[in-house]
Amino acid sequence: MDLSFLKWIGHASFLLKLNGKNVYIDPFDLRGTKVHADVILITHPHMDHLSEADIKAIADDNTKVFVPKDSVGKIPVGDVIGVEPGKHYSYDGIEFDTVPAYNVVENKKHYHPKENGWVGYVLDINGTKVYHAGDTDLIEEMSKIVTGLALLPMGGTYVMDVDEMIKASGRVKAEKVAPIHYRRLLGKEGSAAAEKKFLANVKNGIILDEEQQPKYSFDQ
């Protein structure tokens, strides 16, 4: 699978080249080269996914910003469009679907409540579909997703841990599965152990190259 159109910036942040446009997903802590964003997709309003400073650094008034409806007012610049789960959206040749993203584990439900209407995205990129799950637990809706590449969080605490993510990898119908949203949370040793366990249990699993080395803590 050719993934040259995709860059994992770090954490849950991605930059995709699609139809000659720069499409960011959850731009956060952009310490490297910042290219102009034609489109920004935001999964939910937590600071490591909706970063006003990073959006300001890459967007202008012509940037289309898609964000859950409860967070439209938090976007500081751009042409802002509110989205909700289970819908199809199209903009200038860019096609994508929104899917639910929420916690189901009892002691985590308050982090990402289902009723908030937060989302993941499934994009169609030149015939290859990419599913960015956002912040989520293992949810039933994953069984309906058919994609080329699934980007699933496995950091634990706020999202799936590695064991839950391994189960999610079997639920999603994907050619390849890659973990995201874990290196800052697990640290170097914990991330290495999680990657090893993931690759040992997910036959179609891959580890992406990260453009920016993580700081390993939100407090640094």
Q: What is the pLDDT of residues 188-200, one digit of tens each?
A: 899 999 999 999 9
* Kind and range of the H or E run holding 184: helix 183-201
Q: What is the pLDDT of residues 136-190, one digit of tens each?
A: 999 999 999 999 999 999 998 899 999 999 999 999 999 999 999 999 889 889 9
Please state, in angstroms and as integers, the Cα–Cα distance from residue 23 to each residue in 45, 91, 108, 131, 137, following that order. Answer: 18, 11, 30, 14, 25
CATH architecture of the domain 6-201 equals 4-Layer Sandwich (3.60)
Which of 164, 162, 159, 218 is CA-nearest to residue 190?
Answer: 162
pTM of the predicted model as reported, rounded to 2 decimal places = 0.95
**3: Cα within 13 Å, side-chain hemisphere:** 19
pLDDT at residue 218, rounded to an integer: 46
Where are the domains positioned within the chain?
6-201
